[in-house]
Amino acid sequence: MYTNILRHPGPTPIPQKVQLAMAHDIYSHRSGEFVELYRETTKRLKPLFGTKQDILLLPSGGTAALEAAAINTVSSGEDVVVITVGAFGDYFVGICEKYGFNVHKLAIEWGEACTEEALVEFLKPLNSIKAVFATYNETSTGIINPIEKLAKVVRTQTDALFIVDGVSCVGGAPAEMDEWGIDILVTGSQKAMMLPPGLSFVSVSERAWKAIENNKTPSYYLNLSSYRNWAEKGMTPNTPAITLIYGLAAVLDLIEEEGYEQTIARHALMKDMVRAAMRSLGIGLLTSDEYASPTITTILTPEGLDLGDYLGHLKNEYHLDFAGGLGHLQGKVFRFGHMGYCFPSDILEAVSLMEAGLQDFNYSFESGAGIKAAQDVFLSRKKR
């Protein structure tokens, strides 16, 4: 049986070193061995978040961590702003509405980023905003929001907390939580963190902890104060995903071996390689270069092709697995993931197989043009 070449926005491929680490003999989450593992791995995570604050580990998917960030800081009836630029920004809207928050939705056209000017204008007539929620990297559209600039607007124009979904980019894009003024930053295991699903990471500022202490929304499993109290003991309040934390230690080994700055640069390089390849093949891109995600590229359906047939053919014939579009973009775009355990050689492989599929569908293009364009970007960056 062939293994698919997974080029999704998550889950993403898992390095062999990480798989082997997760095969470690299990031990109790109340043991001294676990305490040492927990404290060491959470300490090593801090540079990825750009923070001196503790990193809390939740045995959950990223969505549960987003819910925890919301319900621990805001109470029913309080005003919040949710910046949404795609399907996953709408997740925050759904969470906030479910708990009875008064939601002011700043909806940006899919494929566009939220600019600081748009946020300034949106906030002007609003008073007593408790929190502003934003998605750093939107995987449904392949855009990355200018989070540093948006954080500055929130800081200078309101007293609100700034809560950021970094699920699909922490580990593959710059994150400076403390310097930028982010109050809660969340990510998940199955994206740039190169792990299976089932673990999420939350970091909380001192301002946010004060809000949490005064918050009225009840919570039990997702109670961040409980996670903080247990973290002081080097543990979690409930049984954690122990094997994933073994794997996390191996992930951090890999990132530290490469160097975090080099990891970020690699993701930016792969983004540029994919975009250059598509342009050389005459295939459109949903987003502008300015706000293009370093971890995923959203690509318009090649002209004259049935997207479902093309993606199915790539998977069945060449074992290349891309993600389709979401929401109203379904059937109009596909998504090329290049995050985590992905390297320039993987981009060249995927583009080559894309070209083979295009030839099978009699799509008109210069054979090898996409590969050459991606390779030229790689070679030019390598010489610097």
Q: How far apart are CA 192 and CA 100, in angstroms?
A: 32
The secondary structure of residue 202, as a DSSP letter, is E
Coil vs helix vs strand at 250: helix
Q: What is the pLDDT of residues 5-37, one digit of tens each?
A: 999 999 999 999 999 999 999 999 999 999 999
* Amino acid, res. 80: V
Confidence at residue 70, expressed as pLDDT on a 0 to 100 scale: 98
Q: What's CA 165's distance to the chain center, in Å? A: 7
Domains delineated in the chain: 16-256 (3.40.640.10), 260-382 (3.90.1150.10)
The secondary structure of residue 329, as a DSSP letter, is G
* Amino acid, res. 380: S
Confidence at residue 216, expressed as pLDDT on a 0 to 100 scale: 87
Residue 209 main-chain phi, psi, to 5 deg: -65, -35
Question: In the structure encoding, which two tokens stand for residue 112, read together?
Answer: 């566009």
Q: How far apart are CA 163 and CA 353, in angstroms?
A: 39
Number of Cα atoms under 13 Å in the Cβ half of residue 281: 31
Q: How far apart are CA 34 and CA 294, in angstroms?
A: 34
pLDDT > 90 in the chain, percent: 96
Q: How many residues does the chain have?
A: 384
Coil vs helix vs strand at 188: strand
Q: What is the pLDDT of residues 167-182, one digit of tens each?
A: 999 999 999 999 999 9
Helix intervals (H) in 319-368: 344-360
**Is the pLDDT confidence value at 1 over 60?**
no
State the pTM of this model. 0.97
Confidence at residue 381, expressed as pLDDT on a 0 to 100 scale: 82
Q: What is the pLDDT of residues 137-167, one digit of tens each?
A: 999 999 999 999 999 999 999 999 999 999 9
Of 68, 38, 28, 40, nearest to 233 by C-alpha is 38
Percent of residues in the chain assigned helix, strand, coil, to nearest 5: 45, 15, 40
| Mean predicted lDDT score pLDDT of the chain | 96
